[in-house]
Amino acid sequence: MVLIDQGSGKTTSAAKLAKNIEKNYKKKVMVVSLDVYRPAAQEQLQLLAETNEIQCLPIVENQQPIDITKRALNAANLNGSDVIIFDTAGRTQIDLPMMSEIKQIKDITKPAETILVADSLTGQIAVNVAKEFDTAVNLTGIILTRVDGDARGGAALSMKHVTGKPIKYIGVGEKITDLELFHPDRLANRILGMGDVVTLVEKAQQDLSEEKIKETEDELKKGIFTMDSYLSQLRQMKKMGGMEGVMSMLPGVNKMKAKMDQANIDEKMLVENEAIILSMTKNERENPKIISGSRRKRISKGAGVDVSKINKLLKQFKMMSDMMKKMSQGKKIPSGMIPDEMLNQLK
Ligand SMILES: Nc1nc2c(ncn2[C@@H]2O[C@H](COP(=O)(O)OP(=O)(O)OP(=O)(O)O)[C@@H](O)[C@H]2O)c(=O)[nH]1
Ligand SMILES: [Mg+2]
């Protein structure tokens, strides 16, 4: 097993993993440091191993990584180790000599796993490094470290997204036992609970032009919300996978989403509402208050839907614009308000 990427917790993770494998798989594990570059790096692993009763390949001064690797394979044969974990030197920049060294080590060891250790806090940098490492040495998985808090799901998502490699373990602290098997479902719940903001942002970047986002933002900041802004929102929603797609990604609407699933919200509504708004005159769109009974009838004919649908949309619009006004004034929307009122409108 080869571990890479700088300062991310490789050495610590190597020791944690050794302990974990010994305990849970009843295998004999040996750890080996190939970090001849950073002063005292080999000693760091040796000390960690000693403290936690893990077998460690003895240090031979001035020996280079390739020779250490060969010695490790011999030693493992002699001492009956089932698993060798190689802890490699880290680099933030991918340099060629280092890549060629890692490739050689891979050729010699033919590792069952090549794991990237990435710090969940460094986010994007780690993601880029991950991609390059994968191209060079074909990773089999990722250990994500410093997932100690509870709001770090985003890094996991982008890691997985960019590399397509599974996250195998997460580091959740500095102690030797602070390594957990990665459970995607738990993380998914955590993220959905707080809103999958990463995906939402990614989607928004993909789907909407920056200009459009800025325009809508500016309007909303001023508390301006017209039928046209509503129409553009409906279209954005449609692009982003409909109501359900958007809702499932917004913070705090997880409960609401469940209710919406129950209510079996018809995605057709988006299309209908679009048609309704398109049947309004410019004046009506900017000033929906003027939409009287006769105008409603005309619009319903134009859109080919029942008048009740116009009434529903107008109510929805009123509610949304109230919400937008509150938001633009920096007020929080009462959490109870969104689910029930909006749901009733949508039913
Ligand atoms: N809170 C927390 N700290 C961690 C975790 N994993 C590692 N650390 C800490 O991060 C620091 C760096 O860890 P190392 O294991 O030395 O990192 P490395 O990747 O080997 O570093 P280099 O060899 O210099 O590239 C240490 O102080 C670790 O205790 C984790 O999951 N959570
Ligand atoms: Mg290290």
Q: 2-194 in CATH: which number?
A: 3.40.50.300
Asked if 196 contacts 34 with a C-beta cutoff of 8 angstroms, the reply is no
Name every residue whose Cβ is closer than 8 Å to that of residue 208 and which is 6 or more positions away in sequence. Answer: 236, 239
Ranges of residues in the chain with a pLDDT under 50 are 1, 151, 190-202, 252, 262-264, 333-347
Count of alpha carbons within 13 angstroms of residue 18, beta-carbon side: 32
Query: How many C-alpha atoms does 268 have within 13 Å on its Cβ side?
Result: 5
Q: What is the pLDDT of residue 149?
A: 59
CA angle 9, 11, 14 (to 5 degrees): 105
Q: Which atom of ligand 1 is nearest to the CA of 171?
A: 31
Residues of the chain with CATH 3.40.50.300: 2-194
Which residues have beta carbons under 5 A from ligand 2 (an ion)?
10-11
44 C-alpha to ligand 2 centroid (Å):
8
Hey, what's the torsion of the CAs at 163, 114, 14, 185, to 10 degrees?
40
Tokens 């500095």 sit at which residue? 174
DSSP 8-state class, residue 174: S
pLDDT recorded at residue 48: 97
In sequence order, what E strands does 236-333 have?
A: none
Instruction: Name the phi and psi angles at 151, rounded to 5.
Output: -120, 35
What Rg value do the Cα atoms of the chain yield, rounded? 28
- The token pair at 124 is 């994007």
CA of 5 to the centre of ligand 2 (A): 9
> How many CB atoms are closer than 10 A to CB 89?
18
Distance, CA of 197 to CA of 248 (rounded, Å): 10
Q: Closest residue (by CA) to atom 22 of ligand 1?
A: 7
Give the nearest ligand 1 atom to 172 CA: 31
pTM over 0.75: no
Residue with the nearest Cα to atom 2 of ligand 1?
173
Which ligand 1 atom minimizes the distance to the CA of 3?
A: 19
Determine the distance separating the centroid of ligand 1 and the alpha carbon of 61, expressed in angstroms. 24
34 CB within 6 A, ligand 1: no
Residue 2 carries which side chain, given as an amino acid letter?
V
Phi-psi region of 291 (alpha: psi -120 to 50; beta: other; left: phi over 0): beta
What is the spatial distance between Cα 170 and Cα 222, in angstroms, rounded to a whole number? 43
Ligand 1: which of 12, 94, 177 to mutate, judged by most atoms within 8 Å of the beta carbon? 12
Cα separation of 249 and 261, whole Å? 14
Tell me the pLDDT tens digit for each residue of 244-299.
555 555 554 555 555 555 444 556 777 788 889 989 998 998 889 999 999 999 99
Q: Which atom of ligand 1 approaches the CA of 178 most closely? A: 31
* CATH 1.10.260.30 boundaries in the chain: 197-346
pLDDT of residue 28: 97
197-346 CATH, one of 1.10.260.30, 3.40.50.720, 3.40.50.10470, 3.60.10.10: 1.10.260.30
For 211, how many CA atoms within 13 A lie in the half-sphere containing its CB? 0
